[in-house]
Amino acid sequence: MKTLSAALNFELDFQGNVAPASIQLIPAGDIRGMDGRRWTMAPADADRVVQSFNSRGLQLPIDINHSTQLAAPAGGDSPAAGWIEKLEVRDGGIWGNVQWTTSGGTRVLNREYKYISPVFDFDAATKRVVRLVSAGLVNTPNLRLQALNSFSPCENDSMNRSTALALALSTALNLEATASDDDLAAAIIALKDKADETSTALNAERAKAPALDQYVPRADYDATLERASNAEAALAAKDKEAHDAAVSSEIDAALKAGKITPATVEYHRAACAEQGGLERFRAFVAAAPAVAEPSDLGARKPTGDTTALNAEQAAVARALGMSEDDYRAALALN
C-alpha cells in the first residue's frame, strides 16, 4: 500500500480564557479540502488510526506552520507548541487530548494562530486515512467544516480554492501573500533544483570519501605502527634482560654447588640462550652430581702471575696431601 501525507485545518474552540484541552483532528466520512483534494475515513479507519497511535506509545507534536515537515528536514527549528497525548473516536472522527507548552498555549490564547492543521498519511489508491503524523498551528484553513469556535465560523470565510492554495504555498516558500502564480512556480522550481544539487553533491562527496570502517589516514596508520614497533622492541629488551639475569643467577648457583666447572660456564650460558635452554639447564643441574667440592673458585681472580688450580687439580692436591702452592710448583717442574 502506497501512503501519502496531507494536512487539513480546523478552527480552535475556546472555552473561556483557556486553550482547548481537546481538539478535533480528522473528521469522519468524506473529507474535502478547500484545495480540492478529497479523502475518506470510515469508522474502521478511525479505529485503526487510534490503534496505530497507541501501539507506537509516542506523543505527537503540535508545531507552528508544520515546521516538523517543512523546516526540520532542512536543519531548521521545529519547537513544539503542544503535544497530543491521547486519541479517541467521536462520532466517527478523530479527537485528541492536548497538553500545550507555555509558549504554544499563550499563542493560542492570544489568537495568534486560529486553526489547527493535522498531518496524516493516507492510501494513495483509496484515499483512506491510515495514520495521524502530527498537527500544526496555522492561519490558512484548508477544510470547510462546522466551526469549532462560534465567534468566527469557517463556513463564512470567503477564501476560495485558488486563494487558499496560493496562501499555503506563499507561507511554505517564505513569499509575500500577494505573490503571483509565476512567482510561486519559480520558487518551487528553484527549491527543487537546489535540493537536487545538494543531493548530487552529497552523493559525489560520499563516492570520493573512503569508508572509515575500511581505511584510516596514512599518518594515523604510521604513528600507530611506530608505537607498536617501539612497544614490541621495549618488551623484547625487557624480556632479554630478565632472561640474562636468570641465566647468570642459575649458573652462579651451579658453580657454588659444584655442579659445573668454570671452564664450562660459557658453554652453559650459550645453551641457555636457546629456546627452552634455561629450563633444560635447571633440569640438568638438579640431576647432575657434584663434580667438585663446593667452592668459589669460579669467582676468584688470579693474583700476579700465579695460575689458580681448577677444581680437578685442587682435588688431586688434596688427595696427595699437598698444598695448592706445592702442587702448582710440581706442575711447573713437569
CA 251 to mean position of chain CA atoms: 57
234, containing H or E segment: helix 218-256
Range among 130-139, 161-170, 230-239, 318-327 with highest mean pLDDT value = 130-139
Percent of the chain with pLDDT strictly greater than 90: 21
108 and 89 in contact (C-beta within 8 Å)? no
On the 0-12 / 13-18 / 19+ scale of CB atoms within 10 A, 104 is buried
Amino acid 46: pLDDT: 94
The cell for 11 is 478552527
Cell numbers 469556535 label which residue?
Answer: 149
pLDDT in tens, 118-171: 888 888 889 999 999 999 998 876 654 322 222 233 333 333 444 556 666 777
Amino acid 152: pLDDT: 30
Instruction: Write down how long the chain is.
Output: 334
Residue 279, SS3?
helix
Phi-psi region of 151 (alpha: psi -120 to 50; beta: other; left: phi over 0): alpha
Mean pLDDT value across residues 212-239? 77
199, containing H or E segment: helix 181-208
| Residue with the larger pLDDT of the pair 164 and 198 | 198
In the chain, domain spans: 3-159, 160-195, 231-299, 301-334
For the question of whether the overall pTM of this predicted structure is more than 0.75, the answer is no
On the 0-12 / 13-18 / 19+ scale of CB atoms within 10 A, 108 is buried
CA 90 to mean position of chain CA atoms: 44
pLDDT exceeds 80 at position 62: yes
What span, in angstroms and rounded, lies between the C-alpha atoms of 25 and 62?
Answer: 11
The dihedrals phi and psi of 88, each to the nearest 5 degrees, come to -150, 160
Q: How far apart are the first and last CA of the chain?
A: 117
Amino acid 47: pLDDT: 95
183, containing H or E segment: helix 181-208
